[in-house]
Protein backbone atom coordinates (compact mmCIF):
# COMPACT_ATOMS: atom_id res chain seq x y z
CA UNK A 1 0.00 0.00 0.00
CA UNK A 2 1.27 3.46 -0.91
CA UNK A 3 1.16 5.64 2.19
CA UNK A 4 1.07 8.85 0.17
CA UNK A 5 -2.39 7.92 -1.15
CA UNK A 6 -3.88 7.62 2.33
CA UNK A 7 -5.80 10.43 3.99
CA UNK A 8 -4.39 12.12 7.08
CA UNK A 9 -6.91 10.31 9.27
CA UNK A 10 -6.04 6.89 7.82
CA UNK A 11 -2.34 7.58 8.37
CA UNK A 12 -3.09 8.64 11.95
CA UNK A 13 -4.95 5.38 12.58
CA UNK A 14 -2.03 3.39 11.18
CA UNK A 15 0.46 5.36 13.26
CA UNK A 16 -1.63 4.70 16.38
CA UNK A 17 -1.26 0.96 15.80
CA UNK A 18 2.49 1.14 15.24
CA UNK A 19 4.67 0.21 18.18
CA UNK A 20 7.45 2.59 17.21
CA UNK A 21 8.04 5.46 14.80
CA UNK A 22 7.27 3.28 11.82
CA UNK A 23 6.36 4.10 8.20
CA UNK A 24 3.00 5.70 8.99
CA UNK A 25 4.49 8.09 11.53
CA UNK A 26 7.36 8.90 9.15
CA UNK A 27 4.76 9.66 6.46
CA UNK A 28 2.94 11.97 8.89
CA UNK A 29 6.23 13.68 9.68
CA UNK A 30 6.92 14.22 5.98
CA UNK A 31 3.40 15.44 5.31
CA UNK A 32 3.13 17.94 8.16
CA UNK A 33 6.67 19.10 8.81
CA UNK A 34 6.50 22.16 6.54
CA UNK A 35 3.17 23.30 7.99
CA UNK A 36 4.27 22.73 11.57
CA UNK A 37 7.53 24.56 10.91
CA UNK A 38 5.68 27.51 9.41
CA UNK A 39 3.29 27.76 12.36
CA UNK A 40 6.12 27.47 14.88
CA UNK A 41 8.18 30.10 13.13
CA UNK A 42 5.29 32.51 12.89
CA UNK A 43 4.34 32.07 16.51
CA UNK A 44 7.88 32.21 17.88
CA UNK A 45 9.55 34.58 15.35
CA UNK A 46 12.87 32.86 15.81
CA UNK A 47 14.51 30.03 13.87
CA UNK A 48 16.17 28.28 16.81
CA UNK A 49 13.03 28.37 18.95
CA UNK A 50 10.85 27.32 16.02
CA UNK A 51 13.10 24.35 15.27
CA UNK A 52 13.00 23.29 18.90
CA UNK A 53 9.22 23.68 19.03
CA UNK A 54 8.62 21.84 15.76
CA UNK A 55 10.68 18.88 16.98
CA UNK A 56 8.74 18.89 20.23
CA UNK A 57 5.46 18.94 18.31
CA UNK A 58 6.35 15.71 16.49
CA UNK A 59 7.51 14.06 19.69
CA UNK A 60 4.15 14.95 21.28
CA UNK A 61 2.31 13.74 18.20
CA UNK A 62 4.06 10.40 18.53
CA UNK A 63 3.55 10.06 22.26
CA UNK A 64 -0.14 11.02 21.97
CA UNK A 65 -0.82 9.27 18.68
CA UNK A 66 -3.51 7.09 20.24
CA UNK A 67 -5.39 10.08 21.65
CA UNK A 68 -6.68 11.42 18.35
CA UNK A 69 -10.41 10.76 18.50
CA UNK A 70 -11.42 12.02 15.07
CA UNK A 71 -13.62 14.84 16.40
CA UNK A 72 -11.85 17.26 14.07
CA UNK A 73 -9.67 16.85 11.01
CA UNK A 74 -6.29 15.37 11.81
CA UNK A 75 -4.56 18.40 10.33
CA UNK A 76 -6.50 20.67 12.72
CA UNK A 77 -5.46 18.47 15.62
CA UNK A 78 -1.81 18.66 14.55
CA UNK A 79 -2.01 22.44 14.23
CA UNK A 80 -3.58 22.59 17.69
CA UNK A 81 -0.67 20.61 19.15
CA UNK A 82 1.74 23.00 17.40
CA UNK A 83 -0.03 26.08 18.72
CA UNK A 84 -0.18 24.77 22.30
CA UNK A 85 3.49 23.78 22.18
CA UNK A 86 4.50 27.23 20.98
CA UNK A 87 2.30 28.98 23.53
CA UNK A 88 3.89 26.88 26.26
CA UNK A 89 7.37 27.83 25.08
CA UNK A 90 6.50 31.52 24.90
CA UNK A 91 4.89 31.51 28.33
CA UNK A 92 7.95 29.80 29.73
CA UNK A 93 10.30 32.42 28.44
CA UNK A 94 8.60 35.52 29.70
CA UNK A 95 7.99 38.83 28.11
CA UNK A 96 11.44 40.38 28.43
CA UNK A 97 12.99 37.89 26.05
CA UNK A 98 10.15 38.28 23.58
CA UNK A 99 10.71 42.02 23.34
CA UNK A 100 14.38 41.42 22.64
CA UNK A 101 13.47 39.03 19.85
CA UNK A 102 11.07 41.47 18.24
CA UNK A 103 13.62 44.25 18.39
CA UNK A 104 16.02 42.12 16.35
CA UNK A 105 13.40 40.63 14.04
CA UNK A 106 14.92 42.06 10.88
CA UNK A 107 17.91 39.82 11.25
CA UNK A 108 15.77 36.83 12.24
CA UNK A 109 13.77 36.64 9.02
CA UNK A 110 16.21 35.73 6.27
CA UNK A 111 13.49 36.02 3.63
CA UNK A 112 13.25 39.74 4.18
CA UNK A 113 16.90 40.39 3.40
CA UNK A 114 17.07 42.47 0.24
CA UNK A 115 13.34 43.15 0.19
CA UNK A 116 12.03 46.69 0.09
CA UNK A 117 12.28 48.62 3.33
CA UNK A 118 8.52 49.02 3.55
CA UNK A 119 7.80 45.26 3.60
CA UNK A 120 10.35 44.68 6.28
CA UNK A 121 9.07 47.59 8.30
CA UNK A 122 5.49 46.39 7.91
CA UNK A 123 6.47 42.93 9.12
CA UNK A 124 8.26 44.41 12.10
CA UNK A 125 5.33 46.73 12.88
CA UNK A 126 2.92 43.83 12.72
CA UNK A 127 5.00 41.71 15.07
CA UNK A 128 5.36 44.62 17.49
CA UNK A 129 1.63 45.19 17.45
CA UNK A 130 0.98 41.53 18.13
CA UNK A 131 3.46 41.48 21.01
CA UNK A 132 1.17 43.77 22.97
CA UNK A 133 -1.59 41.19 22.99
CA UNK A 134 -2.28 38.31 25.29
CA UNK A 135 -0.45 35.14 24.14
CA UNK A 136 -3.58 33.35 23.05
CA UNK A 137 -5.02 36.38 21.25
CA UNK A 138 -1.76 36.85 19.42
CA UNK A 139 -1.77 33.21 18.32
CA UNK A 140 -5.42 33.45 17.30
CA UNK A 141 -4.76 36.47 15.08
CA UNK A 142 -1.73 34.84 13.48
CA UNK A 143 -3.61 31.61 12.79
CA UNK A 144 -6.63 33.49 11.48
CA UNK A 145 -5.15 36.27 9.36
CA UNK A 146 -1.72 35.00 8.43
CA UNK A 147 -2.34 31.25 8.25
CA UNK A 148 -5.91 31.68 7.02
CA UNK A 149 -7.78 29.21 9.24
CA UNK A 150 -11.55 29.37 9.68
CA UNK A 151 -13.22 30.14 13.00
CA UNK A 152 -14.33 26.51 13.28
CA UNK A 153 -10.77 25.24 12.86
CA UNK A 154 -9.49 27.80 15.35
CA UNK A 155 -12.14 26.73 17.84
CA UNK A 156 -10.96 23.12 17.57
CA UNK A 157 -7.29 24.12 17.82
CA UNK A 158 -7.69 26.38 20.84
CA UNK A 159 -10.36 24.30 22.54
CA UNK A 160 -12.85 27.18 22.49
CA UNK A 161 -16.36 27.55 21.17
CA UNK A 162 -16.73 29.20 17.77
CA UNK A 163 -18.45 32.22 19.30
CA UNK A 164 -15.72 32.60 21.94
CA UNK A 165 -13.16 32.43 19.17
CA UNK A 166 -14.87 35.17 17.16
CA UNK A 167 -15.22 37.27 20.28
CA UNK A 168 -11.54 36.99 21.20
CA UNK A 169 -10.42 37.82 17.67
CA UNK A 170 -12.73 40.79 17.50
CA UNK A 171 -11.56 42.09 20.87
CA UNK A 172 -7.91 41.61 19.94
CA UNK A 173 -8.41 43.57 16.74
CA UNK A 174 -10.26 46.28 18.61
CA UNK A 175 -7.41 46.48 21.07
CA UNK A 176 -4.88 46.89 18.28
CA UNK A 177 -6.99 49.50 16.55
CA UNK A 178 -7.53 51.36 19.79
CA UNK A 179 -3.82 51.37 20.47
CA UNK A 180 -2.52 52.11 16.98
CA UNK A 181 -5.58 53.66 15.32
CA UNK A 182 -7.00 53.07 11.82
CA UNK A 183 -5.50 54.10 8.56
CA UNK A 184 -7.12 55.72 5.55
CA UNK A 185 -5.24 53.58 3.09
CA UNK A 186 -1.96 55.14 4.07
CA UNK A 187 -0.34 51.75 4.42
CA UNK A 188 -1.05 50.88 0.78
Partner 1 sequence: MPRDLFEDLVNAAPLAVPPMPAAFNRRVHQRLNSRLLAGQLFDLAFKGLAYSFVHLGLALAGLFVFTCTGRFDRPDTPQGDPLS
Segment contacting partner 1 by CB under 8 A, of 41-49, 78-86, 88-96, 151-159 = 41-49
Return the axis-axis angle of helices 74-103 and 151-158, rounded to nearest 10°.
80
Question: Which value, to the nearest 10 degrees, does the dihedral of the CA atoms of residues 79, 150, 146, 126 take?
Answer: -110
- Rounded to whole angstroms, the Cα distance separating 185 from 177 reads 14
Residue among 94 and 185 whose Cβ is closer to partner 1: 185
Taking the complex as a whole, the smallest distance from the CB of residue 179 to partner 1 amounts, in Å, to 10
Other C-beta atoms lying within 10 Å of the C-beta of residue 25 = 20
- Which positions from 48 through 87 interact with partner 1, judged by CB under 8 A? 51, 54-56, 58-59, 62-63
- Which positions from 111 through 170 interact with partner 1, judged by CB under 8 A? 111-112, 115, 118-120, 122-123, 125-126, 129, 141, 145-146
Site membership for partner 1, residue 33 (CB under 8 A): yes
Return the axis-axis angle of helices 74-103 and 117-131, rounded to nearest 10°.
100
- Rounded to whole angstroms, the Cα distance separating 144 from 186 reads 23
Note the residues at the interface with partner 1 (CB under 8 A): 21, 26, 29-30, 33-34, 37-38, 41-42, 47, 51, 54-56, 58-59, 62-63, 109-112, 115, 118-120, 122-123, 125-126, 129, 141, 145-146, 173, 176-177, 180-185, 187-188
Amino acid sequence: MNLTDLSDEQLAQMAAREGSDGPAFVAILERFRERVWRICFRLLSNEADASDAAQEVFVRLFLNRQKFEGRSKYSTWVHGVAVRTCLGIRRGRGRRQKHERVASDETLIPGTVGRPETDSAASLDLMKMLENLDEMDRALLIMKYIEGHSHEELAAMFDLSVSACKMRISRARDKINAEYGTSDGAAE
